[in-house]
Amino acid sequence: MEKWPWTAVVVLLALTVRWAVSLHSYSGAGKPPLFGDYEAQRHWQEVTVNLPLRQWYFNSSENDLQYWGLDYPPLTAYHSLLCAFVAERINPAWVALHTSRGHESPAHKLFMRTTVLVADVMIYIPAVVLYCCCLKEISTKKKVANALCILLYPGLILIDHGHFHRYNSVSLGFALWGVLGVSCDWDLLGSLAFCLALNYKQMELYHSLPFFCFLLGKCFQKGLKGKGLGLLLKLVGTVVASFALCWLPFFSEREQTLQVVRRLFPVERGLFEDKVASVWCSVNIFVKIKDLLPRDTQILISFCFTLLSLLPACIKLTLHPSPRGFRFALISCALSFFLFSFQVHEKSILLVALPVCLVLHEVPFMSAWFLLVSTFSLLPLLLKDGLLL
């Protein structure tokens, strides 16, 4: 019981730092006509609360997709709708169709910041605390220190509570609940949690193969002619049911489903944008890949390199499944996606940082080093938003 008072102090400190950062600027503050990611979140609330569901992902006179069109999975849209219901009751002008574009006010900023903090308190922070409490063979002091380090990781705090980018704590929190589930042999609950993460942000594909390989390896261990087959069928049922539940409103028409998929994977943007720390951006300094190769070839090359780079870790995890191997495979595969996949955003480094946080107690120096470097990689973004403290 001695750890709980210290855990409470850690959580309060984490919340204080988050709220302190939220007092500063955010993406696109006072920068018309498109503003920034803050406006994107507000606009999605405007769209989801004012338009019928079948119009959310389609371009129309009421929904200009060139102006921060919705391009995340259904669970993100439902979350935006939930926030919009609350916003509409506080001040309808915040989400009024068309007239609310570019709305900026201290009261609305307070509301938006609060929605992120609430998401952290409900999903991400409990997952971190429980994960650290479940760590074996380390002292109570180290468990509390581990929770402190993870909850004070600057990258996530600056992006979610400063820059304001699409509630990363929700998808990462669900993913962490998934890690907890499958590591503690609550495989169905873990699968459900990760499906929620994937249906909130498609970038959770970075973590999908380790989950698949770890669970498949467990089935092989139990024997596919015995308990393993039963577990496999239950896992398939859980994944299908959770995806069907999230996507059910969009299955009414084939074109509706295809439009959502097209919005989730906008390949027309090209191999990369701006100066992202990927292999392709580095290679482009010497060989202008984007100019020399057609887009289909760029996609194929990106896919092949990503697959080749993550195969060794996935094969090993499938043949020898273990919670420790699973954590390191999450790091390896997420880094493969970040370095080689198509259309990587600089903020995607958070998807690598989460599994790195999970091995802080095993390789503290390298993990802390990586987390600091990953935060430094966001420097241009922090300068742009006025968040360099």
The pLDDT tens digits of the residues spanning 293-311 come to 888 888 899 999 999 999 9
Per-residue pLDDT band for 6 (boundaries 50, 70, 90) equals confident
Per-residue pLDDT band for 114 (boundaries 50, 70, 90) equals very high
Is 317's pLDDT higher than 50? yes
State mean pLDDT over 331-360.
Answer: 93
136 burial level (CB within 10 Å; 0-12, 13-18, 19+):
exposed
pLDDT of residue 309: 94
State mean pLDDT over 191-199.
Answer: 96
What is the Cα–Cα distance from 281 to 173, expressed in whole angstroms? 30
pLDDT of residue 344: 85
Is 318's pLDDT higher than 80? yes
pLDDT of residue 267: 76
pLDDT of residue 112: 96
Q: From the CA atom positions of the chain, what is the Rg in Å?
A: 21
What is the Cα–Cα distance from 72 to 76, expressed in whole angstroms? 6
Kindly tell me the number of DSSP H helices and DSSP E strands found in the chain: 19, 0
Return the SS3 of 165.
Answer: coil
pLDDT of residue 58: 93
Per-residue pLDDT band for 343 (boundaries 50, 70, 90) equals confident
What is the Cα–Cα distance from 14 to 132, expressed in whole angstroms? 15
Q: Round to the nearest angstrom and report the end-to-end CA distance of the chain.
A: 37
Is 1's pLDDT higher than 60? no
What is the Cα–Cα distance from 13 to 18, expressed in whole angstroms? 9
The percent of residues above 70 in pLDDT, for the chain, comes to: 99
* Helix (H), strand (E) at residue 264: helix 254-264
Residue type, 113: R
Among 50-59, 177-186, 337-346, the range scoring the smallest mean pLDDT is 337-346
Q: CA 282, 285, 290 angle in degrees (round to 5)? A: 90
What is the Cα–Cα distance from 81 to 77, expressed in whole angstroms? 6
Mean pLDDT computed over every residue of the chain: 92
pLDDT, tens digit, for every residue of 236-282?
A: 999 999 999 999 999 988 899 999 999 998 777 778 776 677 888 88
State mean pLDDT over 82-95.
Answer: 96
99 burial level (CB within 10 Å; 0-12, 13-18, 19+):
exposed
The full length of the chain comes to 389
Cβ contact 72:80 at 8 Å: no
Is 60's pLDDT higher than 70? yes
State mean pLDDT over 188-194.
Answer: 96
pLDDT of residue 105: 94
pLDDT of residue 2: 62
Per-residue pLDDT band for 223 (boundaries 50, 70, 90) equals confident
Q: CA 251, 252, 258 angle in degrees (round to 5)? A: 50
Is 290's pLDDT higher than 90? no
Cβ contact 317:240 at 8 Å: no
Cβ contact 198:205 at 8 Å: yes
